[in-house]
Amino acid sequence: MARWVKVAAAQMGPINEGTGRDEVVERMLALLERAIADGVELIAYPEMALTTYFPKRIREDYEQFFETEVPPKALEPLLRRAREAGVAVHVGFCEKDGGRHFNTAILTDESGALVGKYRKIHLPGRPSPDGYAQVYEVRYFETGDTGYRVFPTRTARVGIAICQDRRYPESYRCLGLGGADIILIGYNTPLSPLALDQNELVLRAGAYENSLFVVGVAKAGVEDGLELIGGSCIAGPLGQVLAKAATTGDELVAARIDLDWMTPARKRWDFFSRRHPQHYTAITQPIKPS
């Protein structure tokens, strides 16, 4: 019996510095209304969806970009409308918890209940310029402490990763082993040679290697002078692209998926039970500081 779910990546165009959260949420609401009209049951917004992607430069006035409430108070109109329509919502934002700072994403279910929070584990960049770093997230955020968890909604079991996490196969594997049907990944990624190709590569590989669905959702376009890639897409359990963004602006990328598509993929490849973790100890050894 088919288990159909309508999912959507709510890609957002640039949020330039000085844009108020109320204006941003109005844009998010517009995307949600399109999703509701299209029958979407699960919608994902990008990493740091409420603000500009401030770690693209070194600065001292970064506290203004952090939220001290979970869910953020600014999201109340969005989450209320989603609750009324029975839509599950994923949103990324900057979280301040006491004196600690995290790159965070939340998930609410179709009833509007907060069912999950994830704090980004893999932080990109360096604390200061080194000729290679494009961003400086390690300067502003702590490594996430939630671990990889899978959260239930009415229609699917959902895992969350954020941006740089998508470049680590361990992220997908941990969530797959945790029972995820769908993994949601918001990102803000500066343009560079092959950046779009690499983005699609890792999203599709994560979906294929774990026989599940991956929804990648970008904040895109030229933001405060820095061009961010788009490429939001929905990948299926055979690594196929089911839907993909055509712009670098606000755009709804939706697909109707059948969770039972995972079954033949898992029966054929059986990636989980055919593992040999006794030979993988090298990947769990402590790292040496670089």
**Known catalytic residue: 174?**
no
pLDDT band, residue 9 (cuts 50/70/90): very high
The pLDDT, as a whole number, for residue 129 is 87
Report the alpha-carbon distance of residue 206 to residue 142 in Å, rounded. 25
The pLDDT, as a whole number, for residue 290 is 64
CB 40 within 8 A of CB 73: no
Cis status, amide bond into 237, omega within 30 of 0: no
DSSP class of 26: H
The 10s digit of each residue's pLDDT in 203-230 is: 999 999 999 999 999 999 999 999 999 9
* pLDDT, average across residues 231-257: 98
**Known catalytic residue: 267?**
no
Angle at 159 between CA 155 and CA 162, to 5 degrees: 135
Q: Give the dihedral sign, CA 83/85/90/95.
A: negative
CA dist 151 to 37, 158, 178, 182, 224, Å? 25, 5, 9, 10, 35
Q: Report helix, strand or coil for 289.
A: coil
Active-site residue, selected from the candidate residues 56, 94, 110, 163? 163
**Known catalytic residue: 96?**
no
Active-site residue, selected from the candidate residues 41, 47, 95, 251? 47
State yes or no: pLDDT of 1 exceeds 80.
no
* pLDDT, average across residues 9-16: 98
The pLDDT, as a whole number, for residue 156 is 98
The 10s digit of each residue's pLDDT in 88-124 is: 999 999 999 999 999 999 999 999 999 999 999 999 9
Strands (E), 67-145: 88-97, 100-108, 114-119
Q: Token pair for residue 139?
A: 């300067």
* Complete domains list, the chain, with CATH: 4-284 (3.60.110.10)
Give me the torsion for CA of 170, 175, 177, 181, rounded to 10°: -140
CB 34 within 8 A of CB 45: no
The 10s digit of each residue's pLDDT in 36-57 is: 999 999 999 999 999 999 999 9
Active-site residue, selected from the candidate residues 67, 120, 219, 251? 120
State yes or no: pLDDT of 33 exceeds 80.
yes
Report the alpha-carbon distance of residue 179 to residue 150 in Å, rounded. 7
